[in-house]
Amino acid sequence: MNITRLSSRQPDFEARLGKLLAFEETADEKLEATVAAILADVKKRGDEAVLEYTRKFDRLPLADAAAMELPKAELKAAFDGLPADQKGALEQAAGRVTDYHKKQVQVSWNYLDDDGTMLGQQVTPLDRVGLYVPGGKAAYPSSVLMNALPAKVAGVAELIMVVPTPDGVKNQLVLAAAYLSGVDRVFTIGGAQAVAALAYGTDTIPKVDKIVGPGNAYVASAKRRVFGVCGIDMIAGPSEILVICDGKTDPDWVAMDLFSQAEHDELAQAILLSPDESFIEAVAASADKLLAQMARKDIIRTALQNRGALIHVADMDEACRISNRIAPEHLELSVGDPKTWLPKLKHAGAIFMGRYTSESLGDYCAGPNHVLPTSGTARFSSPLGVYDFQKRSSLIQVSPQGAQKLGEIASILAFGEGLQAHAQSALYRKGK
Amino acid sequence: MNITRLSSRQPDFEARLGKLLAFEETADEKLEATVAAILADVKKRGDEAVLEYTRKFDRLPLADAAAMELPKAELKAAFDGLPADQKGALEQAAGRVTDYHKKQVQVSWNYLDDDGTMLGQQVTPLDRVGLYVPGGKAAYPSSVLMNALPAKVAGVAELIMVVPTPDGVKNQLVLAAAYLSGVDRVFTIGGAQAVAALAYGTDTIPKVDKIVGPGNAYVASAKRRVFGVCGIDMIAGPSEILVICDGKTDPDWVAMDLFSQAEHDELAQAILLSPDESFIEAVAASADKLLAQMARKDIIRTALQNRGALIHVADMDEACRISNRIAPEHLELSVGDPKTWLPKLKHAGAIFMGRYTSESLGDYCAGPNHVLPTSGTARFSSPLGVYDFQKRSSLIQVSPQGAQKLGEIASILAFGEGLQAHAQSALYRKGK
Binding residues of A for substrate: 239, 261, 264, 330, 363, 417, 422
Strand pairing report for A118-125 and A109-112 = antiparallel
In the sheet that B309-312 helps form, which strands lie side by side, from edge to edge? A109-112, A118-125, A390-397, B350-353, B330-334, B240-245, B269-274, B309-312, B4-7
Cβ partners under 8 Å of residue B259, min gap 6: A421, A424, A425, B270, B287, B290, B291, B294, B300, B304
Nearest to A383 among B253, B346, B392 (CB): B392
Q: State CA A351 to chain mean position distance.
A: 15
pLDDT the model gives residue B432 = 65
List Cβ<8 Å contacts ≥24 apart for B23-26: B23/B237, B23/B238, B23/B267, B23/B269, B23/B375, B25/B237
Active-site residue identified among B101, B240, B329, B332 = B329
Query: What ipTM was estimated for this complex?
Result: 0.95
User: Does residue A333 contact residue A351 with C-beta atoms inside 8 Å?
Assistant: yes
What type of residue sits at position A87?
Answer: K
pLDDT the model gives residue B430 = 85
B391–A408: do the CB atoms touch at under 8 Å? no
Q: Minimal Cα–Cα distance from A168 to chain B, Å?
A: 19
Report the C-alpha gap between A268 and A264 in whole angstroms.
6
pLDDT digits (tens, 9 = 90+) for A7-32: 999 999 999 999 999 887 677 889 99
Reading chain A (432 residues) residue by residue, the pLDDT tens digits are: 899 999 999 999 999 999 999 887 677 889 999 999 999 999 999 999 999 999 999 999 999 999 999 999 999 999 999 999 999 999 999 999 999 999 999 999 999 999 999 999 999 999 999 999 998 766 789 999 999 999 999 999 999 999 999 999 999 999 999 999 999 999 999 999 999 999 999 999 999 999 999 999 999 999 989 998 999 998 888 999 999 999 999 999 999 999 999 999 999 999 999 999 999 999 999 999 999 999 999 999 999 999 999 999 999 999 999 999 999 999 999 999 999 999 999 999 999 999 999 999 999 999 999 999 999 999 999 999 999 999 999 999 999 999 999 999 999 999 999 999 999 999 999 876
pLDDT digits (tens, 9 = 90+) for A169-209: 999 999 999 999 999 999 999 999 999 999 999 999 999 99
Chain A / chain B CB contacts < 8 angstroms: 371
pLDDT the model gives residue A320 = 98
pLDDT the model gives residue B148 = 98
Angle at B85 between CA B82 and CA B86, to 5 degrees: 50
Nearest CA in chain B to A237: B228
Which residues in chain B are contacts of A350 at CB distance < 8 A?
393-396
The two counts, helices (H) then strands (E), for chain A are 17, 15
* Overall pTM surpassing 0.90 (yes/no): yes
- For residue A76, the tally of other CB atoms under 10 A from its CB is 14
Residues of chain B with pLDDT under 70: 25, 137-138, 432
pLDDT digits (tens, 9 = 90+) for A366-386: 999 999 999 999 999 999 999
User: Does residue A256 contact residue A249 with C-beta atoms inside 8 Å?
Assistant: no
A380–B250: do the CB atoms touch at under 8 Å? no
What type of residue sits at position A148?
Answer: A
A253–B338: do the CB atoms touch at under 8 Å? no
Q: Minimal Cα–Cα distance from B306 to chain A, Å?
A: 19
Q: Could you give the angle at which helices B191-200 and B217-226 cross, rounded to 10 degrees?
A: 20
